[in-house]
Amino acid sequence: MGFRKMRNRIAGLASAGLLAFTLAACDGEDDSAQQEEAAPPKVTIAAAYTQDVNEQMSFIGRGEAIDAVDIVARVEGFILEQPGIEGEYIKRGEPIFRIERDQYEATLTAREADLARAEANLDLAGIELDRKQQLVSKGAAPESELDVARANEKGAEADILAAQAAIDQAKLDLSYTEIVAPFDGRLGRAQHSVGDIVSPTSGPLISIVREAPIYVTFSLSEKQLTTVLEQLDVELADLHTNRAQPDVFVTLPNGSLLDEAGKVVFADNRIDPQTGTISIRAQFENDRGLIVDGSFLNVSIQAIEPETKLLVPQAAVQRDQKGDFVLVVNQQQIVEQRYVELGGQVETNSVVRNGLQEGESVIVEGLQRVRPGVPVETVLNATPTE
């Protein structure tokens, strides 16, 4: 064998060995990939457990001032002063605006003069009536003149009543030149300023709102209303008078829970046929003024007596077109889809009314990696559920 042939043979053997090694390596990688693909996905589970809780029902509510009015002028005139300061608190009876009063003082003086004239006319009518009675009794005057004298006296008495009524109206108009706060509250933004001519048709001058105490109004569906009444064992008419009233809590717009409980003070007498809900009103002292008129709030009603409830972490709950469900890992480590009926929420957990048993394991992490019917490898949730 020549040197050239030997070199070609060695090169061929080396290529064949390299190919065989490469194929063997690829076979090893395929086996490893198949093993990884065959390994069940890991998921984190938590056990459903029971606990005595005061279940809450949550709603969307709105702050509603007990007293809130737009102040309007009741007489015409130009604004002379504005003692009330925008945005400041004001006491009942304190002045907000003063309208020029000279015109109304002059009108009152004129009406008082009318009364004096009417009183003088009444005196004169009385004298004339006495004179006619004497003449008629002596036969010196006809009876018809006595009738006229009596009518004149009655007319003079009516004029006095009219003059007195005109005085009362003039005094009332004069009092309206000072616009005062109808209750304790905080003023809003003024819509007119000193020097403006205003009248009853000028629209609101300013608004005033009582901020404490305050209402929070919310609506319950028919189902929610029935649940609340059953839990409290009361009739709708007694909801706001029941001694064992439920506490009402609100979550403020920034997400913090108001450290004050409210009480139900009103329940409407009918279900709104258009919305299928009934209006409920709770009252809060609102000493810190954190509930603002018109603000939207999360409202929750807490049951009076604790009840044993089945709980699962909220992270385990999913929802599709059929409703709420959880993914359960059975004893064979197979995933099952279980539709459940939920109640309220207890911190980071959901109350399960139906569809799940105590001790069953639900998936809380790794939900996106599994589907019903597949085996899984489970890891116990590090965060305790009790």
Distance from C-alpha of 143 to C-alpha of 132, rounded to nearest angstrom = 9
* pLDDT of the chain, 386 residues: tens digit per residue: 454 544 455 444 444 444 444 444 445 555 555 545 568 899 999 999 998 877 667 889 999 999 999 999 999 999 999 999 999 999 999 999 999 999 999 999 999 999 999 999 999 999 998 998 988 888 888 888 888 989 999 999 999 999 999 999 999 999 999 999 999 999 999 999 999 999 999 999 999 999 999 999 999 888 888 877 876 667 787 777 766 567 899 999 898 999 999 998 888 988 999 989 999 999 999 999 999 999 999 998 876 667 788 999 999 999 999 999 999 999 999 999 999 998 777 778 888 989 999 999 999 998 888 899 999 998 888 655 54
Kindly state whether residue 27 falls inside one of the protein's structural domains. Answer: no
| Residue ending a domain, choose from 179, 208, 237 | 208
Go through the chain and tell me how many residues it has.
386
| Same domain membership, residue 257 and residue 146 | no
Provide the domain limits for residue 73. Answer: 68-208
Same domain for 368 and 262, yes or no, is no
Per DSSP, the three-state class of 281 is strand
Residue 232, SS3? helix
Please, are residues 51 and 351 in contact by the beta-carbon 8 Å criterion?
no
Which CATH number fits the domain that encloses residue 87?
A: 2.40.50.100
Both 192 and 289 in a single domain? no
- Residue 62 in any domain: the answer is no
Q: Give the DSSP letter of residue 246.
A: P
- Do residues 202 and 240 share a domain? no
Q: How far apart are the first and last CA of the chain?
A: 85
Last residue of a domain, one of 271, 302, 333: 302
Q: Say if residues 291 and 260 touch (Cβ distance below 8 Å).
A: no
What are the residues facing 218 on neighbouring strands?
Answer: 61, 280
Domain tally, the chain: 3
What residues are paired with 354 via a beta bridge?
341
Contact 101, 177 (CB under 8 A): yes
* All residues at 6 or more sequence positions from 338 whose CB lies less than 8 Å from its CB, including other chains: 325, 326, 327, 328, 355, 356
Whole-number pLDDT of residue 110: 97
Position 175 scores a pLDDT of: 96
pLDDT given at position 183: 95
Which of 186, 208, 230 is the last residue before a domain boundary?
208
Q: What is the pTM of this model?
A: 0.62
Query: What's the rounded Cα separation, in Å, for the pair 332 and 376?
Result: 9
Residue of 2, 63, 7, 101 lying closest to 291 (CA atoms)? 63
Which residues are paired to 338 by β-bridges?
326
Separation between Cα atoms, residue 314 and residue 2, nearest integer Å: 81
Look at residue 37 in the predicted model and tell me its pLDDT. Answer: 58
- Residue 2 domain flag: no
Give residue 27's pLDDT: 54
Could you tell me which residues are beta bridge partners of residue 310? 50, 352
Model pLDDT, residue 10:
41
Burial of 212 (0-12, 13-18, 19+ CB in 10 A): middle
Are residues 72 and 141 both part of a single domain? yes
Residue 111 structure tokens: 């009406």
CB 205 within 8 A of CB 71: yes
SS3 per-residue string spanning 26-90: HHHHHHHHHHHHHCCCEEEEEECEEEEECCEEEEEEEEEECCEEEECCCCCEEEEECCCCCCCEE
Rounded to an integer, what distance in angstroms lies between the CA atom of residue 333 and that of residue 373? Answer: 10
CATH number for the domain that contains residue 48: 2.40.420.20
CA separation for the pair 184, 190 (Å, rounded): 17
Based on the domain organization, do 233 and 190 belong to the same domain?
no
Q: What share of the chain is helix, strand, coil (3-state, %, to 5)?
A: 35, 35, 35
Q: Which residues pair with 312 in a beta bridge?
A: 350
pLDDT at residue 169, as a whole number: 97
Element (H, E) at 158: helix 143-175
- The answer as to whether 23 is a domain residue is no
